[in-house]
Copies of this chain bind each other. A is one copy, B any other.
Amino acid sequence: MNASGSNSLKLPLRGIVPPMATPLLDRDTLDRAGLERLLEHILAGGVHGLFILGTTGEGPSLSYRLRRELIDQVCRQVAGRVPVLVGITDTAYVESLSVARHAAEAGVAAVVLAPPYYMPEGQPELREYLSHLVPELPLPLYLYNMPPLTKVPFALDTVEWAMEQGGIVGMKDSSGDMGYFHAVLQRLPRRPDWSLLIGPEEMMVESVLLGGYGGVNGGANIFPRLYVRTYEAAAAGDLARAREGHRRILRVSGGLYRIGKHPSTIIKGIKCALACLGVCDDFMAEPFSRFRAPERERIESALQDLEGIEDLK
């Protein structure tokens, strides 16, 4: 499919697939050196894949030109070491497809799609939309369930319908609703190639203990090894170690994600922590902006409290 053959994906996908933050120097300028460092920092943690242009990656805030530049740059540097997944969520079908085609040419392994999120579509409309789009996609698709931001969920009967379609190979569930998560998981035996990954890191351990496939967790930008080892403990049924990892992840979340008042505080916290650690710039594209000095001081102090947190025995 492409020169480097880097887009191979072993199904079902399992493990930690960090939703990468996008290092920026300005609203339309990649922090290329920072991106290089961030990628190596994450890959050194032993992650099982990489998800770019998602919510944490500020995908919807970036120009299409920058999205393409980022895809190219990431694929070139990752060079097949792990599968790269790319968010193509858009309100415009044509633009989703266009990004997906660019991604396929760059060597991406799969694309990730949340429901169009301006005017809320009904579930029959959502299914018809997928039935048009999925056959045109050049890459396998992961559904991205994110109702707090898209207003529209992938309802359970839509998920059942999706399991009967080719082209779709799993879901990232960021609903935070474990009842929904378990209900989807119950249906997975129909599709051995599907995986179900969880977004909120606070529920990663329980999801994996009860059959989940892994996590797309923002904190793995900062402490990738902690998330990988915790996932491995949970997947192996090592309850004591999984609990300890869970407690540590809660400390990350409690320390870094509640500094500001608006929902963007999580991304701000992650980017600020990466900047404090010298990994990359913390510029954020509008309508958001990086933490100012008082919040940054709180992040710095939280990072000191978290020192050594990756050393999960």
Binding site for B on A (CB under 8 A): 27-28, 55, 60-66, 91-95, 98, 115-122, 125-126, 128-129, 132-133, 149, 151, 176-179, 182-183, 186, 200, 202-203, 205-207, 209-211, 237, 239-240, 243, 246-247, 250, 253-254, 261-264, 267, 285-289
Contact = CB atoms under 8 A, between A and B. Distances in A.
A121 B287 contact: yes
A246 B186 CA distance: 11
| Best-surrounded residue of A118, A243, A267 (most CB of chain B within 10 A) | A118
A267 B119 CA distance: 10
A262 B120 contact: yes
Contacts of A211: 243
| Best-surrounded residue of A64, A92, A178, A287 (most CB of chain B within 10 A) | A287
B262 A121 contact: yes
A205 B200 contact: no
B210 A254 contact: no
Given A119-B264, A129-B286, 14 more contacts: A27-B94, A61-B116, A61-B118, A64-B95, A93-B285, A119-B149, A122-B261, A125-B288, A128-B287, A151-B151, A183-B250, A205-B210, A211-B243, A237-B240
A177 B179 CA distance: 10
Contact of A60 (B119, B176, B177, B179): B119
B63 A92 contact: yes
A61 B92 contact: yes
A82 to B, nearest CB: 26
Nearest to A67: B92
B263 A133 contact: no
Contacts of A263: 119-120
Contacts of A288: 119, 121, 125
B183 A206 contact: no
B179 A119 contact: no
A66 B246 CA distance: 45
A12 to B, nearest CB: 19
Contact of A179 (B92, B94, B176, B243): B176
Contact of A206 (B206, B237, B285): B206
A74 to B, nearest CB: 19
Contact of A62 (B92, B122, B149, B247): B92
Nearest to A94: B63
A132 B286 contact: yes
B287 A239 contact: no
A250 B149 CA distance: 28
Contacts of A120: 149, 262-263
Given A125-B287, A243-B211, A288-B125, A63 B149 contact: no
